Chains A and B, each alone.
Chain A
């Protein structure tokens, strides 16, 4: 796949962020504030290199399809490594470097004045490198390497403020769950290697004679990885906690790029999935479920970043559903649009949080429209896009593709779920928007009146804010606004790429990428119809949100209403359907119990005790022998006599024997 060759641009765009990371890590203290621009520059150049690479990849490929492959080195026979640039990886690379660059620039402003300014950019660059490794690798092990490295980067960035116990815990949780995912991919690799004797995508996909059941097993294991990385049920619990990290991190890693790696993986392995209906069904179902659950949970959150986190989870659920059921273009398209608008939403919320000194609880906001008009418009466009209001935002097009695709591939239930979820999405996004920007500012209201029971659970506790940021606002505001402004453009417009069905530029771009299985039956309803239904649901959602939070009466006594809602919030929502508790009991507590049993009892008492006993028994034997040593001569004489007697008996008998 792809034509072999040496592509300097490829290596350049791949390794530049690494160089940036190393430079920032090694010379951080010397660089001081220059670290930010430097780090951004590395990624920016990498983006340019990507664009150039795009051109280079199209050269000399029949049909202008993109495909470039460069082999690097090999560990042992069968474990050969290389880089692959095809439409899929190109798309991801563009997002990673492009959106990544913008977020870098944003971070210069956002992280300005932080003690570990340079370290932050080192991590950020390192993440970009890791993500590029993930998407550019031409084999599963390379993918796994990238997979693990992005996990590490996210670990570092979530726990960036490592003096916060909550951040540390969140980071560890995220990492461990992701390692569980890695393990899944590892096992898939075992099965692939055992049957194909190679780890390259090409061989694995070209190979047809997998043992019966293995294909499903492989897909399942791969999807475990995907689910862990993309926060799919039930491995999603790390994502909301991951919001402990700085907001740009959430924007880049936990919205735009890393969490969509699962989508990439499934899309990349489309040939495998398209051969196994069960796997498709599984993935699609999980995706749909995640979308729904994420959306529902999104309705019950007060922390602005957690709301966005659950929405991310839900949106990725969409994507997974799309690629799962076989609507690969749709899923990938939603990743594409989502990258823009979700990044924008996060960055917008970042502006708010930044302005309110790390206040993240929407209940203590309100009426910010006047204070932060730019943020308002940024959020507004984002919400419009994510809610999928026809033709006004990118989200509409991609989401529509997925929902329609689900139906086309014969999954009506997922279809329904998709539509309902779209409505809920509109509801909770608008809820966030209205609570935040309409009404009056509630930041000066006493938390208890707002029903905030545990302020420390929401956002950064006030007392640690000094550790994080010595001073705000030294960096010019445009540093944060410009990237958001730039992002607005694709947020609004990019969806048109997907307009036009078969002959849209999007479909053309992916013409040779994905397998096209023939539909069992043409979709019962037309795409237009779907769009209408979705639109209706969305409108309902928005209306409800407006009535509850936006309308004048609601805005009047917002404090009281919010308090009531907080207090009345069903436990199921506040505890996020008890996923956390379940995982904790099933895995964490269980293994700790076993560990205690082994370490505190079995080791010292049983095993070691046995050995000690043998040693003591030797000593006991010693005392036995020495007990003959009474010191009395006559005892010794007696011993001799006994011995002699025994000798005599033996020899007398022996003599009798020989006679």
Chain B
């Protein structure tokens, strides 16, 4: 496990994240232009969606897959409740702020998923292509749960349009669409575009993580005054709790270790694209500095640097 952690820590993606983070704290401007950051993010989703679809292409719909989907849905419905309760214990936040944070932790972070799958790949640990679909599925439900937790009594119509807006968030659509295209075109399609979506993938991930590191550090610098010790502990403890819940479900449903490590990573990760935008619309009274700083500044680095190897080690240890 320690060896795993060291290997992860010394991999190029994590080191570029650290470079962005440390350089930014020191005062250097290491962010990418917004247009490029958005495009790289889109590229990552297109690529993992497509790869997942191709992997699924041969296999058709299996019982295992539906079990895993079920596990994802259950997690993204329950984790916000757990987060909401835990926040109530740990920090004097308003109900609305707690609900907004809970939505982030119930949803998932695609780049954390990407980092985990690269780690697994480079260690030769297999996982199923449909795990990407589960990532897509887990993006949204937590938002609805959180609105309920916030006791939101907004007019129905706005709520519905919000659900549409979230489901149609470009990250969800590209991920799902590329998955379907990958499933349709299969290995033949993969052969045609793999020099773009597979070969440079890890390098592009490095560039993107340089930016993410810089953004995370900037977020901490600007947002830390909205955090308190309780919140910071929450940002570190909640991923462990979520990953444990995912591990339990993985055990119950008999998942292989690779899939389980991915599910744990998804559970442990917190959204930084779709959910923050949705919260600004649905719960505008919630302070964005709190949830953005927690999700991007605390939980993302923890998952990237020590979470992923830990989840994998646990999954391999507990599961057959």
Question: A and B from one assembly?
Answer: no
